[in-house]
Every structure is written in structure tokens, then in C-alpha cells.
């Protein structure tokens, strides 16, 4: 699935199963919630915190997909073509960071 197809599929799902998009502000809040859920699992799996009973059965991949879903909703609502945006972001990083990381002693 391409990013463009994902944007189209989410849009179709929202307009049929989901009825309509939540407001942009509501979706921003939902995005923050989803990022928090992903963070909670990452901290427990890769950090020092132990799992709680309420964390069991949750998958990092599912939490990442939830974050992506809401981000795609926001892109659709605000007219952002994520394929173009990501391509431009690569261009920016390739110019800005061309030598930066190679010259970073912390990464050697």
C-alpha cells in the first residue's frame, strides 16, 4: 500500500463506516493520546518500567498503526499530500544533514 492509497482508504472508511471526520482539533487530541499509548508500551518494552496488567495484550505495531491512522486523518482534513510532504522532507534532510551525522562524534 502506498501512502497515497492509505490516504484514500482512510478517507473512504471515514466517510462510510466512520460517518464523518472528527474536527481537526479533536483529531489532534486523539493523535496525542495515541502517541502516549505508543510511548507507554515502548517505555515498558525497551525502558526500565515494568508492564502493568492493563498493558498486556497490546502490540507496539497496533499502536503505531493507530498513530499513523490519525495522522492520515489530519492530513486528509488539512489538504496535505503526505507523499509529497515526505518527499520534500527527504530533500530538506539530504541538504541540511548531508555531513552533519557523519561529523557527529557521538555517532562514531
Here the CATH number for the domain that contains residue 17 is: 1.10.287.1080
pLDDT attached to residue 103: 87
In a domain, 96, yes or no: no
Q: Which domain holds residue 67?
A: 3-81
In a domain, 34, yes or no: yes
Please list, in sequence order, all residues whose beta carbon lies within 8 angstroms of the beta carbon of residue 86, skipping any fewer than 6 positions away. Answer: 3
In a domain, 30, yes or no: yes
**Count of the separate structural domains present in the chain:** 1
In a domain, 87, yes or no: no
**Alpha-carbon dihedral sign for residues 18, 22, 28, 29:** negative
In a domain, 19, yes or no: yes
In a domain, 46, yes or no: yes
In a domain, 65, yes or no: yes
Please list, in sequence order, all residues whose beta carbon lies within 8 angstroms of the beta carbon of residue 58, skipping any fewer than 6 positions away. Answer: 37, 41
| pLDDT tens digit sequence for 46-82 | 999 999 999 889 999 999 999 999 999 999 999 999 9
Q: How far is CA 25 from the centre of its chain?
A: 16
Query: In whole numbers, what is the pLDDT of the chain averaged over residues?
Result: 95
Per-residue confidence band for 26, with pLDDT thresholds at 50, 70 and 90: very high
For residue 25, pLDDT beyond 90: yes
For residue 90, pLDDT beyond 90: yes
pLDDT attached to residue 108: 86
- Work out the average pLDDT over 39-47: 96
Is residue 31 within 8 Å of residue 77, measured between CB atoms? no
In a domain, 24, yes or no: yes
Prediction pTM value: 0.90
Amino acid at each position: 500500500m502506498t501512502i497515497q492509497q492509505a490516504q484514500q482508504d482512510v478517507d473512504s472508511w471515514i466517510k462510510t463506516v466512520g460517518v464523518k471526520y472528527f474536527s481537526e482539533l479533536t483529531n489532534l487530541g486523539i493523535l496525542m493520546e495515541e502517541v502516549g499509548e505508543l510511548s507507554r508500551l515502548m517505555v515498558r518494552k525497551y525502558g526500565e518500567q515494568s508492564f502493568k496488567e492493563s498493558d498486556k495484550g497490546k502490540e507496539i505495531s497496533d499502536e503505531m498503526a493507530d498513530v499513523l491512522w490519525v495522522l492520515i486523518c489530519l492530513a486528509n482534513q488539512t489538504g496535505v499530500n503526505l507523499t509529497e510532504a515526505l518527499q520534500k522532507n527527504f530533500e530538506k534532510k539530504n541538504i541540511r544533514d548531508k555531513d552533519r551525522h557523519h561529523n557527529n562524534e557521538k555517532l562514531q
